[in-house]
A and B are shown apart, each in its own frame.
Chain A
């Protein structure tokens, strides 16, 4: 009953995205097939292939029929056919989604954990040197777009210092045991992960710090202190807990930034996730693949946000009462 409002919002959002996906190629001047596959592909296409594609995309039906066919094929897991890779889009996505999920998942955990920790410590020491340094530093970092952070890290640690590999996720043809392979993977992961974490840390940090400062003024903190609670206990068990709530909500909202950020950062590091795939799809004008990537990213964002909305009520029962 309570959840219905949330679910309707997300369903509507999904419909908006699906409709855009459906409408955009059909809004373009000329043949939708041309918009989907690009001019170059149209020249190379044989009439038989064209016929087959027209019936495949149901382009011979009315607009409403086409939309029904489009939704129907999506429900069957058919995202279209990648012209460049010559395999179904879903198969291409399956190969690169895990890399992005790994990157984004780790970045989300690390930036939330680290941001919470730094924010609580900084808010507790408000106005002292550590707090001032952290606050000032993060304010500057927050101005850097994530792909520029990535480039800076790449140029400093990869190009100038030569500490980490410049591109990719694994070194090919090493054929070693799992331990060197894991280290190799981590070395490739380090910079993309660091740039995502750096770019997203500020928001979590500021939020945790602000909540901490408000909470530190509350009477129950004085009670805790007068009971003789130790510093860490006051910081984490009494005050810090209150920062958890906004930070968890923000983590969900940040996921949409993280996913888009990952798309850009992957391009900088040629990390074989969906971002690098998207860049390639843009270069080769592989529109079915592009649509598939963006649809999958958007659906992931929507699902996670919905989950956060639901989780939020578990963490803060007041929200459930408020509805």
Chain B
């Protein structure tokens, strides 16, 4: 199955909206030092300032510029989200692909482990692990991936099993190609649509979990994150500041998650034509 991903997303209005939002967010995150005149941790000189031309979204309880924090928070969300998506999908491919190729006893053992891990509620265990490790960005990516990969492994296994039986794979095998070669050249490209869907799904879950963990305050406290902004802002709900402190952070997080959902829907439609009608 070979799909023009970009074309599929462009054809779907929701997909266009989702992809567009993601691109804008990524550009803002990359260009954060240009778009904002302050550093996120910098003390700007006044606390609880309302939005003005100097502080676009005002300042928080310790006088940091909220707009700058919002931009650098986008960096954290997108970095951890994409990192965890890539790493967990890699784990899924490794486990699912191996189960499909090995078959028999190895398959059964691997899938039993995957089934057991799927049953483990990921957020709960992630909170527990994070409470001990207080993970920084890279540690958090590993931690999230460790709990995100099993769902994808199951999907990849079932797809790989059907791909394995296809004609061109059998043809390649008769020409004497090895399994590593087959996996690299034929199976993984054929799995493309499923892989993309899993990537987007895991991206979304990782962004959500990162925000949740930093909202609880179990992530590294020096990392600027939307979840942490919301946690801090909630303490001052009796003041007016929530309008430009809590709402933008929450809206940015919701927008990111919605954008990923829409992109995912568009891709799913491309993979599963029955949904198109």
Interface extent on A, as a size class? Answer: 35 or more
Please tell me if the beta carbons of A267 and B216 are within 8 angstroms of each other in the complex.
yes
Contacts of A287 in B (CB 8 A): 131-132
B147 smallest CB distance to A (angstroms): 10
Please tell me if the beta carbons of A298 and B254 are within 8 angstroms of each other in the complex.
no
Please tell me if the beta carbons of A9 and B129 are within 8 angstroms of each other in the complex.
no
Q: Mark A133-163, 1 if CB is under 8 A from B, else 0.
A: 0000001101111011001101100010000
Interface of B (DSSP majority class): helix
Report the separation of the CA atoms of residues A177 and B145 in the bound assembly, to the nearest whole angstrom: 52
- Given known contacts A143-B258, A148-B253, A294-B124, is B117 in contact with A279 (CB within 8 Å)? no
Contacts of B116 in A (CB 8 A): 9-10, 12-13, 15-16
Contact partner of B124 among A27, A260, A282, CB < 8 A?
A260
Report the separation of the CA atoms of residues A223 and B64 in the bound assembly, to the nearest whole angstrom: 67
Contact partner of A302 among B117, B119, B211, B216, CB < 8 A?
B119
Contacts of B117 in A (CB 8 A): 13, 16
Please tell me if the beta carbons of A256 and B215 are within 8 angstroms of each other in the complex.
no
Please tell me if the beta carbons of A12 and B250 are within 8 angstroms of each other in the complex.
no
Contacts of B238 in A (CB 8 A): 159
Report the separation of the CA atoms of residues A301 and B261 in the bound assembly, to the nearest whole angstrom: 25
Contacts of B215 in A (CB 8 A): 147, 264, 267
A33 interface residue (CB < 8 Å to B): no
Please tell me if the beta carbons of B254 and A144 are within 8 angstroms of each other in the complex.
yes
Report the separation of the CA atoms of residues A302 and B117 in the bound assembly, to the nearest whole angstrom: 11
Please tell me if the beta carbons of A145 and B237 are within 8 angstroms of each other in the complex.
no
Report the separation of the CA atoms of residues A140 and B255 in the bound assembly, to the nearest whole angstrom: 9
A128 smallest CB distance to B (angstroms): 16
Interface of A (DSSP majority class): helix
Please tell me if the beta carbons of A301 and B124 are within 8 angstroms of each other in the complex.
yes
Q: Mark B47-90, 1 if CB is under 8 A from A, else 0.
A: 00000000000000000000000000000000000000000000
A72 smallest CB distance to B (angstroms): 21
B246 smallest CB distance to A (angstroms): 6
Please tell me if the beta carbons of B120 and A282 are within 8 angstroms of each other in the complex.
no
B227 smallest CB distance to A (angstroms): 9
A103 smallest CB distance to B (angstroms): 16
Please tell me if the beta carbons of A21 and B128 are within 8 angstroms of each other in the complex.
yes
B123 interface residue (CB < 8 Å to A): yes
Residue of B nearest to A285 (CB): B131
Chain A, range 266-284, C-beta contacts under 8 Å to B: 267-268, 278-279, 282-283
Contacts of B262 in A (CB 8 A): 139
- Given known contacts A144-B254, A145-B257, A151-B250, is B124 in contact with A297 (CB within 8 Å)? yes
Please tell me if the beta carbons of B119 and A24 are within 8 angstroms of each other in the complex.
no
A290 smallest CB distance to B (angstroms): 6
B208 interface residue (CB < 8 Å to A): yes
A102 interface residue (CB < 8 Å to B): no
A299 smallest CB distance to B (angstroms): 10
Please tell me if the beta carbons of A148 and B128 are within 8 angstroms of each other in the complex.
no
Contact partner of A10 among B14, B119, B230, CB < 8 A?
B119
Q: Which residues of B contact A (CB under 8 A)?
A: 14, 112-113, 115-117, 119-121, 123-125, 127-129, 131-132, 208, 211-212, 215-218, 230, 234, 237-238, 242, 246, 250, 253-255, 257-259, 261-262
Other than the given A13-B119, A152-B250, 14 more pairs (CB < 8 A) read A9-B112, A12-B112, A12-B115, A13-B117, A24-B129, A24-B132, A139-B262, A142-B258, A143-B261, A145-B257, A148-B250, A155-B237, A259-B121, A260-B121
28 A-B contact pairs sorted by A residue (CB < 8 Å) = A9-B112, A12-B116, A13-B116, A13-B119, A16-B117, A16-B120, A20-B125, A20-B129, A28-B132, A139-B258, A143-B261, A144-B257, A145-B253, A147-B215, A151-B246, A155-B246, A159-B237, A159-B242, A264-B215, A267-B215, A278-B127, A278-B216, A279-B216, A282-B218, A294-B125, A294-B127, A298-B124, A301-B121
Q: Which residues of A contact B (CB under 8 A)?
A: 8-10, 12-13, 15-17, 20-21, 24-25, 27-28, 35, 139-140, 142-145, 147-148, 151-152, 154-155, 159, 166, 256, 259-260, 263-264, 267-268, 278-279, 282-283, 287, 290-291, 294, 297-298, 301-302, 305
